[in-house]
Amino acid sequence: MIFQRLLFKMERRQFVVLLSTLFIGLGPFFNANAQSKNITIHLRGVTETKISLMPMSGTKQFKTIAELKSVKNGETASLPIPAEYMPGEFVLRFDYKEKSESTPYPSEKRILIGNDPIELWMHPMFANNPDSSWFGKEEKENAAFALFSTENARQKQKIGLLQQFLMEYDSPDSDFYLQGIKEYEKRRQAYNNWLDQKVKEDATLFASSLYRFNFLPQIVFQGNEKDRLLSLIAHYFDGIDFNDPVIIKTAQMNDWMNSYVNLHGQMATTAALRDSLIPAAARSAIEKARLGDPLVYGWMVDYFYRGFETNDMPQGMKVLEPYLNDPACLTTQRMEIERRLKGMENLKPGIIAPDFSLIDRDKTIFTLSTFRSEQKYILILFWSADCSHCKETIDVVYPWSLKAEVKQNLAVVAVSLDETETEVAAWENKSSELNGWKHLRATEGINSKIANDYFILATPVMVLLDAKTRKIIAMPDTPGELATLVR
């Protein structure tokens, strides 16, 4: 997942030292000659199950890449893993029936897959209970990570108590406090040395690539809250090796960058300050990644692109523009970023909105240019039924649009970008509740012509038009902003 809107809420809160995580990688794992592997699963305890495998990182994050439709109790099944996803972190999902007449019920188990095949004895009802579900005795990756996690929790508990003391002690100029700082620094270095040793011990395992995300950066405790934040930001990347492409194969890389962005968000007391701090953070992170492996460099650009798109931050998009012409930047989002930048230039207030024709829920053709409305404004709302931000927006906009003084001035055209059967079913259900709106669906979703014409790369997006001229008045970011425009 990308950095979320919640990271940018302008709230002043007590600074909590993030036990942030950095990484020193293990290059040999990430290579073009990786071979596919199999997961051998011995099923027990349930009548039947469907088994799905989903990666926790990459373009197919949390999407099924391998599946067994039906495995029955007592059977042994083999689930192939495409080579391009290895090594990596995965979610193994079981939609099981306890009895033949039961409704399928889900359970999930997180697993690491490195260089070796995996054999797993599985009782889906107790997927994470080691007494009921376990790996083969020769399995190394998950066993090593489990041992590390246990010891790591113990190590962090010790230093965490000292950290809490330093954050809450009321006499920061006292000798006692200064002694506490010295002790913390001593323990921090000892902890990082322990991490170094664990990485070396498990150097042949992909699991060790996750260890370094627990690295503790240096923090200057003396000074005020802002000083501490700036200190942590300055040292945030101290423990990472951007030359190692394997770091982008971990889910922790995304979480680690979310924490980095969040540090900057904590200093944002206004939207304007947020919109300057976060792009500056992006530039700093990308410039550091630029000196490393091209895959990591490209990943970093992709990460901020998705964040800026989700949070509608055009200033951030402009930061990414120079990197698109760098052949060393192996971004997977080059075309999308270029399209978004083009949209920022071409789709703006004053131009006539691109025309479109789509089938509405009543199976009739709706064409924007021929749509006649007595209202003063037309709102085109691009949304998806499975989008949480869309739900938040609609939950505010819909009841507001029904107010008499708004309804007489505003016609709402809701365009769904849902594609899958599940999404379409959710759209049909939700749209039936939104009476009074025109409901259309672009069958090709985000890749449809209307999405391309309006440069839609994420939902929700609102486009407010003059009903007579069809000219764009504004593209409001929030329901509140929309309400100020419709009078």
Q: What is the pLDDT of residues 419-463, one digit of tens each?
A: 888 889 999 999 999 999 999 999 988 888 998 888 887 789 999
Q: Other CB atoms closer than 10 Å to residue 388's CB: what's the count? A: 10
- In the prediction, which pLDDT does 21 show? 30
Mean pLDDT, rounded, for 351-375: 92
The span from the CA of 462 to the CA of 129, in Å, is: 47
- In the prediction, which pLDDT does 469 show? 94
Sheet holding 461-466, edge to edge: 438-441, 410-416, 377-383, 461-466, 472-474
- In the prediction, which pLDDT does 19 show? 31
The span from the CA of 423 to the CA of 419, in Å, is: 6
The model's confidence at residue 307, banded by pLDDT at 50, 70 and 90, is confident
Q: Kindly state the tokens that stand for 94.
A: 């079981």
Q: What are the tens digits of pLDDT across the range 168-183? A: 787 888 899 899 999 9
The span from the CA of 442 to the CA of 476, in Å, is: 22
Whether 5 has a pLDDT exceeding 50, the answer reads: no
Residue type for position 251 = A
Q: Kindly state the tokens that stand for 205.
A: 């395992």
The span from the CA of 263 to the CA of 257, in Å, is: 10
DSSP symbols for 156-210: HHHHHHHHHHHHH-S-TTSHHHHHHHHHHHHHHHHHHHHHHHHHHHTTTSTTHHH
Mean pLDDT, rounded, for 124-131: 93
Task: Give residue limits of the domains in the chain.
Answer: 29-136, 357-485
Which 3 state secondary structure label does DSSP give 132?
coil
pLDDT above 70 as % of the chain: 91
357-485 under CATH 3.40.30.10, yes or no: yes
Question: pTM for the complete prediction?
Answer: 0.65
The model's confidence at residue 113, banded by pLDDT at 50, 70 and 90, is very high
The span from the CA of 95 to the CA of 52, in Å, is: 8
Q: Kindly state the tokens that stand for 28.
A: 């040999």
The model's confidence at residue 34, banded by pLDDT at 50, 70 and 90, is low
Whether 350 has a pLDDT exceeding 70, the answer reads: yes
The span from the CA of 199 to the CA of 193, in Å, is: 10
- In the prediction, which pLDDT does 4 show? 46
Query: Which residues partner with 109 through β-bridges?
Result: 92
Q: Which residues contact 11 (CB under 8 A, 6 or more apart)?
A: none
Nearest C-alpha neighbor of 85 from the set 54, 50, 116? 54
Q: What are the tens digits of pLDDT across the range 203-226? A: 999 999 899 889 999 888 877 778
Q: Where are the alpha helices (DSSP H) in 18-83?
A: none
The span from the CA of 13 to the CA of 35, in Å, is: 48
The model's confidence at residue 340, banded by pLDDT at 50, 70 and 90, is low
Whether 22 has a pLDDT exceeding 90, the answer reads: no
Mean pLDDT, rounded, for 267-291: 88
The span from the CA of 54 to the CA of 67, in Å, is: 9
- In the prediction, which pLDDT does 268 show? 81
Whether 292 has a pLDDT exceeding 80, the answer reads: yes
Q: Kindly state the tokens that stand for 306.
A: 């998705």
The span from the CA of 15 to the CA of 167, in Å, is: 8
The span from the CA of 462 to the CA of 303, in Å, is: 24
pLDDT above 90 as % of the chain: 54
Whether 11 has a pLDDT exceeding 70, the answer reads: no
**Across 56-132, where does the E strand assignment appear?**
66-72, 76-81, 88-97, 105-113, 118-122
- In the prediction, which pLDDT does 233 show? 92
Mean pLDDT, rounded, for 10-36: 37
Whether 26 has a pLDDT exceeding 80, the answer reads: no
- In the prediction, which pLDDT does 27 show? 34
Residue 61 φ then ψ, to 5°: -55, 125
Q: Which residues contact 374 (CB under 8 A, 6 or more apart)?
A: none
Q: Which helix (H) or strand (E) holds 39?
A: strand 37-43
Q: Compute the chain's Rg from CA coordinates.
A: 26
Give yes or no for a contact between 389 and 417, defined as CB atoms under 8 angstroms apart: no
Whether 6 has a pLDDT exceeding 60, the answer reads: no
Give yes or no for a contact between 357 and 366, defined as CB atoms under 8 angstroms apart: yes
Among 208-212, 326-330, 405-409, which range has the highest average pLDDT? 405-409
Mean pLDDT, rounded, for 466-483: 93
| Selected residue with higher pLDDT from 339 and 473 | 473
CATH topology of domain 29-136: Immunoglobulin-like (2.60.40)
